[in-house]
Structure 1
Amino acid sequence: MIIDEIKVILENNEYELDSDTISRIQTMLESIRDDNQINKLDYVIEWFNKKREESDMIVEEIGVNDLDKWNVDSNTGNVKHESGGFFQVIGVKASNTFDREVGKKGWTQPMIAKNPGGILGILMKRINGIPHYLLQAKAEPGNIGKLQLSPTLQATTSNLLKAHGGSKPLFAEYFNEENNLNIIYAKWQSEDGGRFYLKSNYNMIVEVTEDKDLEIPDSFIWVTLYQIKQLMKIENFVGPHVRGIISYL
């Protein structure tokens, strides 16, 4: 096998082959060949573009005062949801001793805050021994093209607690660490500090067994690591959360 040949070459050059190194070799091999056992790359692209065409989501800008269930606090001016969940838009004042675009005097700006974070998780399943990753064509109002390829689970704490009054996000049960011991990766990672105040999300990759029969909705699709990296070459196709999670691999 190729991996055995690579291991021999590394051993001959005095590299220490621990479990992490071997895992990295396997991931490298995943990245350079399209071994998807279900969907070829051309089909994935065609499927996603069709989902974009079929999306009936219409997004239009409205005034903050016209938002449903969102209010502007008369004392602070913060924008917040009536449930107390999701997030708030607050104001911050930053001062510094180093030069920036605004010099040393500092600046003020609005930021998204009061959000305890959530889970950004991708399910992985081996199909005929090949790792496949479950992504979704997710519609969000700020997306270019309406939809972008997103993680299996992309949910804030408020989503998971159903603060919006809707249903719990699909596949959320697989990202409960107490119930799932086969976790490949799970770490808190910070979000953009220029727009989010003290915000981080729990990034996860969780493996389900090959014999696990999952009911996959039409808005989800199995792709390989090779395919994800090829799709990232297409502008505004793969969402930032997928890019962030797979950076571990």
Structure 2
Amino acid sequence: MSVTRLPLEELAGWYEDPGTGDIRHRSGRFFTVEGLDVRRPGWAVPAWTQPIINQPEAGILGILLKRVGGVPYLLMQAKNEPGNIDGPQLSPTVQATRSNYTGVHRGRPVPYLDLFREPRGRVLADVRQSEQGAWFYRKRNRNMVVEVGEEVAAAEGFRWLPLRRVRELLSVPDLVNMDVRTVLACLSARDGRADDGLAGGPGRGSSRGSGGGFGALMERSRDPGADAAHGTREILSWLSGVRSTVDVQTRPLPLNRLRGWHRSGGRISHESGGFFDVVGVRVEAHGREVSRWTQPMIEPVGTGLVAFLVRPVRGVLHALVHARAEPGCTDVVELAPTVQCAPGNYDHLPARARPVLLERVLETVRTLPGRVLFDTVLSEEGGRFYHARNRYLVVETDEDPLPGHPSFRWLALHQLDGLLRHSYYLNIQARTLIACLHGLTDTAGTTVAADTAAAGTTGARMAADAHRWPVTGGVR
């Protein structure tokens, strides 16, 4: 794939609406770059305007699963996207917008699509989930895992890989793409478990589940019958209350009427130099449904930081989630990680707008590296975002840093799993971290594959630190 920067004015097939300045495709499909007016009375930043991508169609993100000797394998694709920072990434079996798989681009058919549109196997996961609420307006995709019993050959560019190996590779920077991460998060512990006596849970001859340490803690924490700091009904009532009281008002605004944004040099930028730019690219690709095209993209300024604080409560791992409002969310508020931000953007904002636990996370990373359980930079969706990356962290704590805070709650890992069976509870960043936590279950207390360990990944570090975690008991 060859990607070349291109001024927005030179995008073939796209045009600027003469009345609004919105960037649209001549087919009327794909997506539109529009303006959004956002008002949040009483907040540190009570109002702003911004460009946002409006893609009012649900695509399919699907992974095929088969079992070989009881071990789950996934059909993965090595797929390049114009926004990828370093070439192809590990991608789902199917990753397609509705415009693409209905042939609006007049390209080749999407491989394996029929196995998801009319599943012939056992559907293990099928749920609509949101995407980045700061950059997409009410975007959602259908997240699916379908288990096939028949033999499905791997086409060129595809390979069957063990689920455990895919989870290990989450520790390698910029390798497993965002769409794989969100789908894996939706796969239940039961359906993702091997039953070969080597990689199962307790009671199945599992070396991970029987020897104590972090792996046993994770296995226990994904058990739906395990304890929790708050009951699930209490959590749902709390979230409903937040959604009912948070006042976020959004309305479409012509792109040429945004305050603080300017269009020059072939791009749209904020006057502060922060946040993100809207840029254009020309793409030439081999092996895609379409071999060449142009498009607008969002290019963030700087690398973001996304972190969960975690701790065991009564022997069950809990994560501190934040009920976070974003202008593009379908239901206004979704559960987000403890910290989710681009730190550099807060140089332009009031001090009280800064995420409340950002400094605590950064200080722990600097001074107590042994408490960092996961730390990897991962890319976001490369089809719409250019070189968008976040540093994903899981950081251990012994205490609740915000007791009684109305916007934060501790959720057990099995409660997060349960919410993922439903739409619009956990945002895309939280789903990535949940997939990474599940990967720690596979790597803790075991020997990680040589290629992964050589990269200095979290799995190898967790294997060395597994003895630090108690098998039973309260907060360590």
Q: TM-score range by the shorter chain?
A: 0.7 to 0.9
Out of 295, 299, 306, the residue aligned to residue 109 of structure 1 is 295
Cα displacement (A) at 1:117: 1.7
Structure 1 residues 67 and 215: alpha-carbon distance in aligned structure 2, compared to 1, 3 A threshold:
farther
SS of alignment partner, residue 348 of structure 2: coil
Q: Which of 213, 223, 237 is the matching residue for 1:46? A: 237
Decide whether aligned partners of structure 1 residues 194 and 124 sit closer, same or farther in structure 2, where only a CA change above 3 A counts: same
Partner in structure 2 of residue 60 of structure 1: 251
Inter-CA distance 154–83: structure 2 relative to 1 (3 Å threshold): same
Instruction: Pick the aligned partner of 1:231 from 399, 415, 419.
Output: 419
Higher share in strand: 2
Q: Which residue of 1 aligns with 2:328?
A: 142
* Distance in structure 2 (CA, Å) of the matches to 1:141 and 1:114: 17
Distance in 2, matches of 1:139 and 1:130, equals 28
Superimposed CA distance per residue, residues 132-152 of structure 1 (whole angstroms, 9 cap, x where no aligned partner): 211011100000101111011
**Match in the other structure for 1:209:** 398
**What RMSD, in angstroms, separates the aligned Cα atoms of the two structures?**
2.4
Q: 1:8 Cα shift? A: 9.6
Report the alpha carbon displacement of residue 166 of structure 1 after superposing the two structures with TM.
4.1
In the other structure, the counterpart of 2:205 is 9
Contact 1:135 1:223 (8 Å CA) reproduced: yes
Match of 1:29 in 2: 220
Aligned match of 1:194 = 383
- Distance apart, 1:194 and its partner CA: 0.3
CA distance in 2 between partners of 1:42 and 1:155 (Å): 29
> Given the alignment of the two structures, is residue 242 of structure 1 paired with residue 433 of structure 2, yes or no?
no
**Does the aligned pair in 2 maintain the 1:174–1:180 contact within 8 Å?**
no
Maintained 8 Å contact 1:36/1:132:
no
Q: Which residue is 1:127 aligned to?
A: 313
| 3-state SS, counterpart of residue 162 of structure 1 | helix
Counterpart amino acid of residue 262 in structure 2: N
**Structure-2 residue corresponding to 1:222:** 410
Paired AA for residue 228 in structure 1: L
Name the SS of the counterpart of 1:186 in structure 2.
Answer: strand
Q: 1:162 to 1:179 in 2, by over 3 A?
A: farther
- How much does 1:115 deviate? 2.4
In the other structure, the counterpart of 2:282 is: 93
> What CA deviation, in whole Å up to 9, does each residue of 1:65-108 have, x standing for no partner?
222212212x32x11111101110100110112241x3x2x000
- CA drift at 1:64: 1.7
Q: CA deviation at 1:162?
A: 2.6
Relative to the length of structure 1, the TM-score reads 0.84
Instruction: Give 1:234 shift.
Output: 1.8
Instruction: Output the CA distance in 2 between the equivalents of 1:216 and 1:118.
Output: 27
Aligned partner letter, 1:156:
A
Gaps of 5+ in 2: 1-200, 438-476
CA distance in 2, matches of 1:186, 1:216: 28
Q: 2:271 aligns with which of 72, 82, 85?
A: 82
Q: 1:55 to 1:131 in 2, by over 3 A?
A: same
**TM-score normalised according to structure 2 size:** 0.46
TM-superposed CA distance for 1:120, in Å, is 0.7
- 1:26, distance to aligned residue in structure 2 (A): 2.4
Pairs aligned (count): 232
| Paired residues of 2:306 and 2:337 also in contact (CA < 8 A) | yes
Distance in 1 separating the partners of 2:233 and 2:215? 27
Residue segments in structure 1 that go unaligned for 5+ positions in a row: none
Aligned to 2:347: 162
Q: Do 1:36 and 1:223's aligned partners in 2 also have CA atoms closer than 8 Å?
A: no
Structure 1 Cα separation of the partners of residues 378 and 404 of structure 2? 28
Which whole-Å CA distance do the structure 2 matches of 1:57 and 1:10 have between them? 48
